[in-house]
Structure 1
């Protein structure tokens, strides 16, 4: 006989009925708590670190074509999984320079097939170190710098990177455990505008202390719920991975790698470095031939200590966490004369017979209605993300750059006037940046807010 039948089998006095009802709901609660069902707000997390350092020489990406001659420091996938009881969100930070959107699409499909994690919930960000091996095909860079890609694609290393990423997600899912989440801001002077100009007002790659910059550090802090130990730190900061220049032939995570390792050593937990809008931002020491002359280790103090300080100042945590992920597609004309790579045709739309439009995907993650993270496959100028943050309705608004591929530099219209390197490797028209920023703001102020409230 079922429990529900026992309740109504014989007439009961009112006090007996009350006791029976109480017993029934207690039993139901026990059954629910002992089951494997997760409910929204039952926040769990896991972090996994996978070494992807090659054992043999590889072509390095970031400057002219060149092959590695050794390893300065190991490079990694840092994988963070968040589970709000309804879905799993995977954030990956990888110590490489760039991946093509086509490479992201292939890996995202594998992630969805293998783990059921939707594309909108799988973000693959790269730190943009210029001293790491190539991964996958060149994608859009081949349209601007084809001379760098005359050698064959290294499929074996791409397969290694992919398999390690999948292994890491699989392990992370097994290791999900109750967690709490904190958020905060830090500040560092480790970066500087790199659009230098002389009296002729023509920009060149250098240092411009008067130029726009973004020195805020956006921090997410994940802590074990049971014993309050730090599980992982996510640090979002805009800086090119170019302390080491083209003369360096040693594999390295560059500034982000050194800082991540240092924060992990001091805090006892892995750190995901997520680059920001670094299209016009360099480290204060840039393009040196080796780590010593580039003062690479000094960034432990310049940036690492600032991340640790910001992390320590986060004292409020939430264990009731829910999130909403979404995607927006921004259409903008292709720059005249650009030969678009065929393997990126999924990112090209025929608006008319004469006009082709680039489809730029922007991803959004809203956490507990006060954190808004947006991401794009762009090398964005900081003025655009700064304005989005300043006008955002969310108190914590972070921009994750170099995420889910690379579709080139997106400048402000004002900077096109000064010419220089970045406009030559941009597929966009001059007013695209302003329109993109407004489209993102519109999404943050309306659709993302309503998606969270209606979920």
Structure 2
């Protein structure tokens, strides 16, 4: 048996709701495009798994777990067999807030995502699947070195980027018409910046729209290891078009050479990892880090500063947080994901050690915690290494950066999942 079902549902919020991704003084005032959640249900002889994409920067793990738990109940599968990825648009609605509008929207969003999975399950049909991969120039390393041996947000032309663009295509076995496609790429969906008040799925949304018009089936865009990779074009609707035309063009070149087969190798499994965080620094350094975050990102750091000083005074220097690492595999291709923003070096490491260009590794999977830099990035500091926990730690629980060798440990655990 080889079956796949797909269902796409509208999750557009009301006007006025807060943004998440960049601070805007006002909420959403215009809608450039509606946003969606799309669910795929894969069935083989022994396994049923769900793969869902949501247009959002990334909901918290606890909210994502509610989605996964309810879908698992509805479809009579295990919690670990449900994968939720986020497109990571920086022009989407907030889901964490004391605002009644945000709370109400989150409830509707969760219910709609669950509905999409149930409907996709009802839509399963005999299907074949096929993979393909190419390379494209859509991302740029953003960790620009400065004269003092550190880094800032910018452009590092010599920096590493995972250039792969992959596709998992699904077609109806009888008609041989496409019924869905999952596209994998690596470039931050932060084309629109803080000066935009438009609700947008960013370049993944327009790319999806282009491909759906041509292919006549639902399409989702899955982010890879974009922690140190910005979109090549940024700052305007024209830049979104440039990104989308480039990405969709690369995807369309792959379609004719895809070889379709029945689902044979099929699994979605996960493992939990207790991730150690760096020691809380001395009070002087705590204050310095908080001040840097305020100056560079314009955020209120009082909560982080107070919490860190309290923990230090209580001699609570050792911190850790549980993290799930999940593998979704169909035939010869795979996507392994974590609720963080890993660097491209980690994705290329997975590909090289598995000797498989169809082995993708990315973030924004089953929730959000923060960044996962490689060990080599730590001496250079920067937002991804030092300041992100200050900005989002009070919300996600990642109060300090992971210890330096964490990315290597995570890659090893991904390889272990492939051997299961």
Q: Which residue of 1 aligns with 2:170?
A: 222
Matches within 5 A, 1:128-207: 128-135=88-95, 137=96, 154-207=102-155
Q: Which residue of 2 aligns with 1:307?
A: 251
Partner of 1:325: 268
What's the TM-score, normalizing by structure 2?
Answer: 0.85
Shift of 1:118: 1.6
Q: Secondary structure at the match of 1:154?
A: helix
The residue number in structure 1 matching 2:74 is 114
SS at match of 1:208: coil
How many angstroms apart in 2 are the aligned matches of 1:429 and 1:170?
40
Q: Distance in 2 between the 1:120 and 1:393 partners?
A: 26
What corresponds to 1:382 in structure 2?
A: 344
CA distance in 1: counterparts of 2:68 and 2:11, whole angstroms? 19
Alpha-carbon separation, structure 1, partners of 2:320 and 2:260: 43
RMSD: 2.2
3-state DSSP class of the match of 1:213? coil
Cα pair 1:186 1:306 within 8 Å, conserved: yes
Structure 1 residues 318 and 332 mapped into 2: Cα distance closer, same or farther (>3 Å)?
Answer: same
2:318 maps to which of 355, 364, 383? 355
Per the alignment, in what secondary structure is the counterpart of residue 300 of structure 1? helix
Could you say what secondary structure the match of 2:237 adopts?
coil
Q: CA deviation at 1:131?
A: 0.3
- Indicate how the Cα distance of structure 1 residues 64 and 152 shifts in structure 2: closer, same or farther if over 3 A, else same: farther
- Indicate if the aligned counterparts of 1:236 and 1:400 stay in contact, CA closer than 8 A: no
1:291 aligns with 2:265: no
Contact 1:362 1:374 in 2 (8 A): yes
| 1:417 maps to 2:363 | no
Aligned positions of 1:25-40 closer than 5 A? none
Aligned residues of 2:71 and 2:118 also touching (Cα < 8 A): no
How far is 1:206 from its partner? Answer: 1.4
Secondary structure of the equivalent of 2:175? coil
Report the equivalent of 1:62. 21
SS at match of 1:332: strand
Please state if 1:241 is matched with 2:203: no
1:278 matched to 2:207: no
Contact kept, 8 Å, 1:60 with 1:67, in 2: the verdict is yes
Aligned pair in 2 of structure 1 residues 354, 200: CA closer, same or farther (>3 Å)? closer
Q: Which residue of 209, 214, 222 corresponds with 2:157?
A: 209
Which residue of structure 2 lines up, in the alignment, with residue 364 of structure 1?
327
Question: Which of 83, 88, 103 is the matching residue for 1:123?
Answer: 83
Structure 1 residues without counterparts, runs of 5 or longer: 1-41, 138-148, 342-352
- The SS at the match of 1:223 is strand
Structure 1 Cα separation of the partners of residues 190 and 64 of structure 2 = 23
Q: Which one of the candidate residues 34, 44, 47 is aligned to 2:6? A: 47
How far apart in 2 are the matches of 1:207 and 1:185? 26
Alpha-carbon offset, residue 257 of structure 1: 0.7
* Gap regions ≥5 residues in structure 2: 281-285, 287-301, 305-315, 390-400
Assess if the C-alpha contact under 8 Å between 1:128 and 1:241 holds in 2: yes
Counterparts of 1:215 and 1:320 in 2: how far apart (Å)?
Answer: 27
Residue pair 1:93, 1:274 contacting (<8 A) in 2 also: yes
| Structure with the greater alpha carbon radius of gyration | 1
Question: After the TM superposition, which segments of 4 or more aligned residues of structure 1 sit over 6 Å from their partners?
Answer: 338-341
1:147-178 deviations in Å (ceiling 9; x for gaps): xx675671111011111111111111111100
Describe the SS at the equivalent of 1:417.
Answer: helix
